[in-house]
Amino acid sequence: MNSNLLIYPMLAHVLWVAFLYVLLTVVRAPAVWGFLKSKKKSWAGVELRISANLSNQFEWPLFFYAVCVLLVSQGSGADSVQVWLAWVFVVGRLIHSFVQILTDNIRLRGLIFTINFLAVLAMWFLFVF
């Protein structure tokens, strides 16, 4: 299978992170530009959750990008399982974002993170062995 197919899940994650930056900017804009006259920020809780989720997008995903770059650099090193695992990771990151930003369900967030975690570990295992 063409290892360049890994570019698509990587691009999807980059676009998701860009969307989170836009979302954070939109949520912060009223306070930054003085649209909110009261000291109480109506978006404060959401802003913190988006910001925390954005930080999460640069932690474990680092290992996802590293294995994808290694696979792509090998030329034909990625098989359909690797591509499938990459999409599992990306879809999981999207779901993780929704859960973290919209709910307080830490158990569900942990479960989703575990799926992401295992997908990347499996990618690394398949790459090395």
Note the pLDDT tens digit of each residue in 13-60.
999 999 999 999 999 887 777 766 555 556 678 999 999 999 999 999
pLDDT at 40: 57
| CA 100 vs CA 54, 57, 58, 121, 123: distances in Å | 10, 12, 15, 22, 25
Average pLDDT, the chain: 90
Distance CA 89, CA 106 (A): 19
What mean pLDDT is predicted for residues 65-69? 96
pTM above 0.75, yes or no: yes
Q: Angle 61-73/80-102 helices, nearest 10 degrees? A: 160
| CA 126 vs CA 81, 96, 122, 123, 129: distances in Å | 9, 24, 6, 5, 5
CA dihedral 98, 50, 83, 110 (to 10 degrees): -60
pLDDT at 41: 58
pLDDT at 44: 73
pLDDT at 33: 76
Kindly indicate the confidence band of residue 77, based on its pLDDT and cuts at 50, 70 and 90. Answer: low
Domain spanning 3-128 has what CATH number?
1.20.120.550
